[in-house]
Amino acid sequence: MTTFDAGPQAAIGSRPPGWLSSALLAGHALRNGCDAVFPFHELSAFEPACVATARRFVDRTLGGWAVRDLAYDTQLVVSELVTNAMRHGGGAVQLRLLAHERDLACVVTDYSSASPMPSPPDVLAEFGRGLRLVEALCSGWGWLFPGGPSKLVWAVLTSESGPASPARPRH
């Protein structure tokens, strides 16, 4: 599948799964899952190095949760979401990873109230493939406006095995 073959559900903004919606709208940690937050410092919110820092956070977090099968795809998705927050969202505020059963959510908060929109497919374009890549790798993605001048852009990937308990990682 190419990224141009991804479904159009994100163009209208799909709804997050119930477990994710509850966690995001309530603003608290998951009770029956894994939850980790990486706050971007104000000074690094626009620096390209914060994308690499976010990828390292993903690698460490998923290693602790024993969800290695999603590490590479999650790093790609997080790279795209953080880059979009820097380019179009006024900067990245935080990255949150949440795992529930076999699902892993990546949530990036930015400073913009504008909805993200995939660019029309253009084979010759230098930019504009990020959200199509997210569509191709994820079981769903979308955005929420929690109030105020910010938004949460979320994407859910599905693991073959699911996360281990944070207290008892699988070996």
Q: Is 105 helix (H, G, I), strand (E, B) or coil?
A: strand
Phi, psi of 26 (to 5 degrees): -80, -25
Model confidence, pTM: 0.81
| Closest by CA position to 160, among listed 101, 81, 72, 113 | 101
pLDDT per position as a tens digit, 50-102: 899 999 999 999 999 988 889 999 999 999 999 999 988 888 999 999 999 89
pLDDT per position as a tens digit, 128-169: 677 888 998 999 999 998 888 889 999 999 987 666 544 433
What is the rounded CA–CA span in Å between residue 85 and residue 112?
Answer: 8
Phi, psi of 72 (to 5 degrees): -65, -50
